[in-house]
Amino acid sequence: MAASASSSAEQARKDLAERLGEIRLDAGLKGSELAERLGWYPSKVSRIQGGRTSPSADDIRAWCTACGAEDQAADLVQKLRAIEGMFVEWRRMERDGLRRAQESVRPLFERTSRFRAYSSWFVPGLIQSRAYTETVLRAVQRRRVTVDDVDAAVASRMERQQILHEGGRTFAFLIEESVLRSGMGGREVMAGQLGQLITVGSLPTVSLGIVPMRADRSRMPVEGFWIYDSEQVAVELVSGYLTLTQQREVAAYAETFAELAELAVYGAEARSLIALALRALG
């Protein structure tokens, strides 16, 4: 998935283009006839319908009006806005520093009751220790952010963790066993983080599953993602941040989470894997 700016975003653009094509066909118009009504070159109609050119909101409204489908314009414009917001490059999200990027998700966290998070790269932010968070965000800042506000960003993430102790919410975290042995930040940082996992895993609102490293597992690791209630999925890619709201995509990630959850171990077995990782630190 990280290999493209997102296959999901591209599929959404394709779906929009196909819907515009269906509207034209329902109106009984050829592409050249629609172009004539709109005062466009026929090639523009072809490019939009073929998904090679993204239409503007005005293009969509004009297209629907020319086809006698004005009532569908608002919905399609809304879909266009959703597509435009699906994929955000890190440089855009973090151009004003890491603190703002941390604070931007606060409203989403505040309105979510059920959190599900899977990570194959590092410990999810809500259950990170302060030292681990500082290590992760410092590495991000050095790699791609010119503004150095790491201390403020760490404080913002630590403050957000208070949501774990508020009522009315549940949290399910799945972590690949390899994350426990990543060595992020060195021995002392990892030791503190592993201890943090044991502490957080004991909270009554938290389910912590560790997906063991096995040669015969039935579901391979995938990119890390968060599911907020059943409304939205956030995926962290190498190139940017992907937001998915289409129900079939949300359902696909929920299904993947359920499959990975079946592979995970919990409770005493999870603590045993964490203890093994602690001992491996020496």
Specify the range with the lowest mean pLDDT, choosing from 81-90, 167-176, 228-237. 81-90
Average pLDDT taken over every residue of the chain: 90
Res 80: pLDDT:
83
Residue with tokens 């913002």: 156
Lowest-pLDDT range of 11-20, 86-95, 187-196, 254-263: 86-95
CA atoms of 171 and 161, how far apart (whole Å): 12
**pLDDT band at residue 2, thresholds of 50, 70 and 90?**
very low
Residue 3 pLDDT grade (very low, low, confident, very high; cuts 50, 70, 90): very low
**Which one is predicted more confidently, 7 or 73?**
73
Mean per-residue pLDDT, 227-248? 84
Note the pLDDT of residue 9.
67
pTM of the predicted model, to two decimals? Answer: 0.75
Instruction: Identify the DSSP state of 265.
Output: B
Structure tokens at 248: 């079939």
> Residue 205: pLDDT above 70?
yes
Query: Is pLDDT of 207 > 80?
Result: yes
Is the pLDDT reported for residue 240 higher than 80?
A: no
Burial state string for 111-125 with b = 16 or more CB within 10 A and e = fewer than 16: ebeebbbbbbbbbbb
CA-wise closest residue to 186 among 129, 234, 242, 232: 129
| Backbone dihedral region for residue 39 (phi beyond 0: left; psi -120 to 50: alpha; all else: beta) | left
Lowest-confidence region among 113-127, 153-167, 168-182, 230-244: 230-244
d(CA 1, CA 234): 13
Model confidence at 162, pLDDT cuts 50, 70, 90, reads: very high
Confidence (pLDDT) at 4: 39
pLDDT reading at 154 higher than 50: yes
Q: Which of 23-27, 70-74, 81-85, 200-204 has the lowest mean pLDDT?
A: 81-85
More confident residue, 239 or 28: 28
At 89 the pLDDT is 61
Could you report the per-residue pLDDT of 51-73, keeping only the tens digit for each?
Answer: 888 898 899 999 999 999 999 99
- pLDDT, residue 8, reads 63
Query: Could you give the CA distance from residue 270 to residue 191 in angstroms, rounded to a whole number?
Result: 16
